[in-house]
Structure 1
Amino acid sequence: MNAHAGAVASTFNTKVQIEDGWLQGASSAGVLSFKGVPYAAAPVGNLRWRAPQAALHWSGVRQAMVFGADCPQTPTPGDDAVLQTRFDENCLFLNVWRPAGDTRHLPVMVWIHGGAFVNGGSSAPIYAGSLLAKRGVVVVSINYRLGRLGFFGFPALTKEHPEEPKGNYGYLDQIAALKWVQRNIAAFGGDPRNVTVFGESAGGMSVHMLLTSPMARGLFAKAIIESGAGRGGPDGPERFLGEDKPGLPSAETIGVNFARAQGIAGNDAAALAKLRALPADKIVSGLNMAVLGFMLATRQTPTFAGPMIDGRVVVETPDQAYLAHRQARVPLIIGANSADLSLDFASSTEQALAPFGARADDAKALYDPTGNADYRLVAAEVGADRYMVEPARFTARTLSAQGIPVYEYRFSYVAQSMRSQGIAGAPHASEIPYVLQTIDARYGPSVTKTDRAVADLASGYWVNFARTGNPNRNGLAHWPRYESKSDELLDFHADGTAEGEADPWKARLDLTAAAANDGSKAAH
C-alpha cells in the first residue's frame, strides 16, 4: 500500500486517502462507492497518443460520487451497455465499490468492458459493481481509450519518445489502471495480492493481453475471460505496428491513410501535430461496432488498426504465448455463450462450411446432418464456434495441460422475457448482467424468479473464484476443473440450472480445432 493511502473507508466514513489525495465517496444500501477517480493524467493535447502519464495530485477532498466522462466514441444503436455520461478525451477514470464495514483484505475484481475496442465505458448500468460488492469483494471498473484514440500508429509517433511503448494506448491504460489498483486498493479494504481481472468480448481479449504481456506481470492473481476467444485472428492481434504484411497493412500505414483522409499529407512531426490538433470527434469519425461489422462483411479497406503487435505491450498472439508457456501462470475461468458472436457472413450452406476446407463434408454432417438447415443458422453456429467457443476451449486445453487450474463454462440461459423472440441460444454478452447481478438494469420489470436465481448462481461462482481461485463451494453444483481427457465444463442450462458435464459439442469443436490447425500449418 502507498504510504499516503492510509485511511480506509468504513460504514461511518466515506472518505479515503489515496496517493493523489482525499476522496469523498457515497454510501447506499450497504455499499460504499467512489466514482470518477482519475488513475492517469488527461490524455489530451501533446499527451494524445502517449503512454498514460501519472495523475495529478489534488488538494482538499475530491468528490467521487458521479462517473467521470466515458471515452470518445459513436454509440452503437441497440447496445445493451447504455452509457450515462458525456464523452470526453479526458476519460481515464475508474470506479470502486466495496461492502460497508471495516473488513480489510477483501478480494478485488477489476472489470474491463467490451465493445470491439471502439465502444463502451464504465458508466453503463449493467456494469455497476454495487451488487457484486455486496457478496464481499471490492469491485473496480475502468475506462480505457477507444478507437483511433486508443489504438493508432503513425511514423512520427513511433519516432518520438522512443522510451515509451507505442500503438496500443488503450492496453497501456488498462495496465496503468491495474498499477493504480496495486498502489491504492488497500485504502478501500482490498487485497492487492488477490486481484482478479475479468472482462467480456474486447474486455476478454484484453485479459488475454494481460496474461501474455511482459508489461502486466505481477499485477493480478487470477483471470476470467468471457467470450474473449484465444487464438490469433480476430482476438489477435496479427497486425503489426510498423510492418506491412500481405493483405494486412500495418497500423502505421492505416494511420497515414487516415491522416490523408483528413486532409493531412505526409508522415512527419508536422503532420502529427496537425493530427493532434484535430477535435476528438474527427478522430472518431463515426466509428462504432456497427461500422466495424459492415467493414468486415464487405471486406472494406480498414480505417482502424485495433490492437496490434507493438513489440513491448503485445509481443505475439495469445495462442503463440500459450503454446510456448510464456503467459502468466494464474488460475483461469474461460468460456463462451451458446449463441455467441459470429463474424462469418455466408449466402449458402456451402459458403458457411468453406472455412473447413477439405473437411467440409465432415462439417456438413455435424452442422447440417439432414441437409435442410437454414444456411444462416449454419453460418452463425460455425462462426461462433470458430471465433469464440473453440478458442476458449483451446485456451483451457493448452493451459490446463501446463498444470494451471482452469475452469471452462458455457452460458446457455436466456432471460425468460426474451424467449418469445425466437432466440436460438444465449447471445454474445448476455451473461454479463447475470455475472454482475445487474439484471434489473438490463431487463427491468420483466425479471423473473428464475432469472434472479441464475444471477445468484453465476455471480456466486465468479466471487468464489475471486476469493480462492476455485469457483466451487457447498450448495452449488460442482464445477469440474478442466482436463482435456474428460473435456468437462459447467453449462448454465436454458432451464436455469447449472451442471458439470462432458462438452456436448465435442465433435464440432474437435473438427473446428483441426481446421484451425490446418490453417495455421498452411500459413507457415
Structure 2
Amino acid sequence: MQLIQGKKIGIMAICIAGTLFPYASTMAQESPTLVIDSGALQGVVNDGVAAFKGIPYAAAPVGQLRWKAPQPAPAWKGVRQADQYGHDCMQEPFPSDAAPLGSQPAEDCLVLNVWKPAHSATKKLPVMVWIYGGGFVNGGSSPAVYDGSQFAKQDVILVSFNYRVGRFGFFAHPALTKENPDGVLGNYGFMDQIAALQWVQRNISAFDGDPDNVTLFGESAGGFSVHSMLTSPLAKGLFHKAIIQSGGGRTSIGGGRYLQSPSSSGLPSAEDVGMAFAAKNQISGTDEKALAALRALPAETVTDGLNMMTMNDPTYSGPFIDGKLVTAEPQDIYRTGEGMNVPLLVGATDMDIGFPPLVKNMQEALAPLGKTQYQKAVQAYNPDGTYSAQDVAQMVASDQMMVEPGRFAARMATSQGQPVYAYRFAYVADSMKTEWRGAQHATEIPYVFNTVQARYADALTANDKAMAAQVQQYWVNFARTGNPNAAGLPDWPVYDAKSDQILLFSANGAPETAAVADPWKARLDLIENLFK
C-alpha cells in the first residue's frame, strides 16, 4: 500500500492570499479560509460552527486508479470552495436506509468533511473520526444524521469521510495480483480509511484539532471497520481511542474469506469471486488485457445492483483476509493479546441486527444453541413465554452477530489493561414506540450525533431531545479524556468481566439511564459457549 505523503504549500502563497485569492478577504468573517497540504480551503459558518465539506483526501479512484491503493490528492491553485458534500461512493442506494444519502453516488468520491467551532480558545481540540455503516455495500458521509455541528458546538472536531464500497472497495482478481504482487491487495475500502486517518494526522492541526487525541468511531460496518483498524498493522498510531457501535468483535462481515485460497468453511477465495464477476461480464483470462477490460467497465456495471438487499451475490466478496492489511479475524488477534491497545467504548442496541432463518417453533428458534442447552436457553430467552419463536430466533441471531461479540471485545480490551465502557441502547423515540418493541439497529446514531431533529422532524419530543443530549455528552467526554463520565451524568463504571456492568440507555428515557449488571448475561453466556 502506498502511504499518502503530504505536500507542502509555499509560505509565500499564504502571505499573498489577498492577491492570489481576491475574493477570500471579503468573505473572511462569514467564510473562513485555511490551508492544508493540498491547497487553500474556504468553508462556511453557521450558528457558531465552521464546516468544510468535500475535501479530497486522495486522488479520484477512476480509470487506471480503479482497484488501486489511494493515491495523493492533487494540489490545487487558488481557494477551493468547501461548502458542499462531494459525491458519496458509487453504489445502488438502499431504499429503506435509516441514513439516506444526501449526494449523488459516483466513483470519484474520496472526500472528507470537517466541522469545527468557528472560534476556539485552544488550538488542540479533541478529534472524532466517523466511519459510516451500510454493510460495506452502502453508506456515505452526506446523510443529514451524520452532520457534525453538535460535536463542534462542544469544542470537538468531527471528521467524516467516504470510503469505497461494494466491488469498488472489496475486489480481487489474479490480474490485479500480478500487477502489484508485493502490494496490499483487495481491501481498498480499508485502504481508504487508513488514508483518511493519515490525512487527519497531517492536516487536522490546521482546523485547531489535536492529532495526538483522535477517537475513531463507527457503527455496523463502520464498527467492523474500527475492529479492522485496531487489528491492522498499517493503522497503528493513527488514532488513540475507539468507539464501536453495533460492530461485532469476533469475525468480519466477510466471514473469514481469504485472498487466494478457500476458507475452511468452504468459502471461495476473493480471487475466485472476482473471476466469477469477470466471467459474468464476458471477461476471461488473468493478464493485462483482462484487467484493462475490467477497468473499462462502466461504474453501473461494476455496481450491478449490489446493495444491502443483494449483498450475498456470489460475485461479491466483501472484506477478506489479505495477509497485509487484514491479517486474521479480530477474535484471533485479540486472543493473542494484540489489537486492543486503546481505551474502548463499545455496545449495541437491544433489538440489534441478525439474520435468523424462518422457524416453526421454539425448538427451531433455539437450535443454534444446541439441544442439550434447550431448557437453559428457554429460561434465558423466553422465561415467561412472551415472545414468538420467530422473535426468539431474531434475538439469538442478534446476540450472535452483535451483542455477545461486543461483550467479547470489551473483555479482551479489559484483559489487555485498557479502560473499557460497555453499553446497551434501549431507547425508542416516542413517535416509534407503538411500532418498535426495542431499539433497532442504527437507531442510536441520531442520538450520538444529536441530530434527532433531522431524523424525527415534527414528531420529535422533549424526551427524545434529552436522550440525545445525554448520549452525545458521554461520547464527547470519552473523546476528550477517554472517560465518558462528568458531573450531572449517571455514573458509567469501567467495565469488569466479573461484575459485568453496562450502562443501559433506558427505554424510558434519559432520566432512567443507569449502570446495571447485564440482564442478558445468561443469554450471552450461551452464545459465548458456541464460540468456545
Q: TM range, normalised to the smaller chain?
A: over 0.9
* Residue 271 (structure 1) shift: 1.2
- Show the 5 A alignment for 1:30-109: 30-102=48-120, 103-109=122-128
* Aligned-partner Cα distance in 1 for 2:430–2:385: 31
2:520 aligns with one of 505, 511, 514: 505
AA in 2 matched with 1:164: G
* Aligned-partner Cα distance in 2 for 1:437–1:211: 26
Conserved 8 A contact 1:5-1:19: no
* Aligned-partner Cα distance in 1 for 2:381–2:301: 44
Q: Deviations over 1:355-410 (max 9, x none)?
A: 11242342123223355731110111111111100000011011102211110000
State the TM-score, normalizing by the size of structure 2: 0.93
AA in 2 matched with 1:30: G
AA in 1 matched with 2:258: F
SS at match of 1:162: coil
* Residue 515 (structure 1) shift: 1.7
* Aligned-partner Cα distance in 2 for 1:203–1:381: 22
Distance 1:439 1:219, change over 3 A: same
SS at match of 2:433: helix
AA in 1 matched with 2:167: R
* Residue 501 (structure 1) shift: 1.1
* Aligned-partner Cα distance in 2 for 1:488–1:79: 32
AA in 1 matched with 2:431: S
Give the equivalent residue in structure 1 for 2:175. 156
Q: Deviations over 1:336-369 (max 9, x none)?
A: 0000001122322222212112423421232233
* Aligned-partner Cα distance in 2 for 1:366–1:129: 40
* Aligned-partner Cα distance in 1 for 2:112–2:365: 42
- Show the 5 A alignment for 1:272-283: 272-283=291-302
Give the equivalent residue in structure 2 for 1:520. none
Conserved 8 A contact 1:356-1:512: yes
* Aligned-partner Cα distance in 1 for 2:423–2:29: 36
Conserved 8 A contact 1:228-1:235: no
* Residue 476, structure 1, aligned to residue 489, structure 2: yes
Give the equivalent residue in structure 2 for 1:298. none
Conserved 8 A contact 1:359-1:515: no
Distance 1:43 1:490, change over 3 A: same
* Residue 383, structure 1, aligned to residue 402, structure 2: no
Identity %: 53
1:137 aligns with one of 156, 164, 172: 156
* Aligned-partner Cα distance in 1 for 2:486–2:9: 37
Runs of 4+ more than 4 Å apart? 1-7, 9-13
* Residue 178 (structure 1) shift: 0.2
Distance 1:490 1:194, change over 3 A: same
* Residue 328 (structure 1) shift: 4.5
* Residue 2 (structure 1) shift: 7.9
Q: Give the CA RMSD over aligned residues.
A: 1.8
* Residue 343, structure 1, aligned to residue 361, structure 2: no
* Residue 288 (structure 1) shift: 0.5
Give the equivalent residue in structure 2 for 1:353. 366
* Aligned-partner Cα distance in 2 for 1:424–1:247: 37
- Show the 5 A alignment for 1:267-306: 267-292=286-311, 295=312, 302-306=314-318
Give the equivalent residue in structure 1 for 2:410. 396
- Show the 5 A alignment for 1:77-226: 77-102=95-120, 103-226=122-245
Conserved 8 A contact 1:472-1:479: yes
State the TM-score, normalizing by the size of structure 1: 0.94
Conserved 8 A contact 2:380-2:520: no
* Aligned-partner Cα distance in 2 for 1:328–1:218: 12
Q: Deviations over 1:97-123 (max 9, x none)?
A: 001114310000000000000001011
* Aligned-partner Cα distance in 2 for 1:382–1:154: 36
* Aligned-partner Cα distance in 2 for 1:416–1:359: 37
Distance 1:386 1:58, change over 3 A: same
Conserved 8 A contact 2:346-2:421: yes
Q: Deviations over 1:27-76 (max 9, x none)?
A: 00000000000000000011100000011000111110000001111111
- Show the 5 A alignment for 1:385-464: 385-421=399-435, 423-464=436-477
AA in 1 matched with 2:55: V
Distance 1:5 1:173, change over 3 A: farther
Conserved 8 A contact 1:440-1:447: yes
* Aligned-partner Cα distance in 2 for 1:55–1:110: 19
